[in-house]
Amino acid sequence: MKITLLQRDIVWGNPDINCKRAEEAILEAPLSDLYVLPEMWSTGFATEPKGIAEKEPSESLQWMHKMANRLNAAITGSIATQTKEGIYCNRLYFVKPQQTEEVFYDKHHLFSYGGENNHYTAGNERVVISWRGVRFLLQICYDLRFPVFARNHEDYDCIIYVASWPTSRIEAWNTLLHARALENQCYVIGVNRIGSDPACSYSGGTILIDAYGKDVVSCPMNQETSATAELDMNKLEGFRKKFPVLKDRD
């Protein structure tokens, strides 16, 4: 499976511009099976969502469907969403071509240090999505710090982390991504934004890591760019059979 990681700067609170710029980046990238955008890619990381979060079904979500159908590929990324019930969720959509029902994960570990928990409703469901022979566990940013929630029960092959992870803690981002790949014997995708918002600055660190903890591909720091690589499922399955770490998990 070919995957493109999109390391983006985000224009604060402007879904229209961010959709247009994301579309340009996707069309410039190699044709892939899956395109991964950062956390709250259409607005920036808004801990106070009133006036910024998009009402469901949002224009940004409709754009994701349009692009998935156009490219015959899946697109994933989180959107600050106000649901039809009026609650706010940090919602990671996984959009497949010709999809009729929404598939999403609501962020479980809300970032209390930044006040995200004061306005958003946490999700409680652990979500694994199958796409073209690969099983993906969906996670968002702060989830990365909580390994128990991401424990591999032999039910997924790759974790996707979309993030707005600030430059001041970038060493933790890099270390924890590699740890999740090693301990869960899986691929790990980490897509982080660059640029700045009213609260923080971001430097990227977007990366794909294999089950050996080795970097497969990455984006240069502080550059708005993309990176594309293949997931080698035969290699992963062979490693798991040869060295069955997951059989001994807690």
CA distances to 9, 26, 134, 220, 242 from 231, rounded to whole Å, are 26, 19, 9, 20, 18
Q: Tokens in use for 82? A: 């106000």
Query: pLDDT tens digits, residue range 205-248?
Result: 999 999 999 999 999 999 999 999 999 999 999 999 999 999 99
The mean pLDDT value of the chain amounts to: 97
Single out the catalytic residue among 19, 96, 107, 116.
107
Query: pLDDT tens digits, residue range 116-126?
Result: 999 999 999 99
pLDDT given at position 53: 97
Single out the catalytic residue among 19, 39, 158, 219.
39
pLDDT given at position 241: 97
Domains delineated in the chain: 2-248 (3.60.110.10)
Distance CA 190, CA 174 (A): 9
Q: Nearest CA to 181 among 94, 246, 103?
A: 246
The proportion of the chain whose per-residue pLDDT surpasses 70, expressed as a percent, equals 100
pLDDT given at position 151: 97
The proportion of the chain whose per-residue pLDDT surpasses 90, expressed as a percent, equals 99
Single out the catalytic residue among 19, 54, 116, 141.
141
pLDDT given at position 211: 98
pLDDT given at position 209: 98
pLDDT given at position 190: 98
Total count of residues recorded for the chain? 250
48 confidence band (pLDDT: 50, 70, 90): very high
Q: Which residues have a Cβ under 8 Å from the Cβ of 172 and sit 6 or more positions away?
A: 145
Query: Any catalytic annotation for residue 141?
Result: yes
Containing H/E element for 178?
A: helix 170-184
Query: Any catalytic annotation for residue 39?
Result: yes
Spatial strand order in the sheet of 134-140: 128-131, 134-140, 158-163, 187-192, 207-209, 215-218
71 confidence band (pLDDT: 50, 70, 90): very high
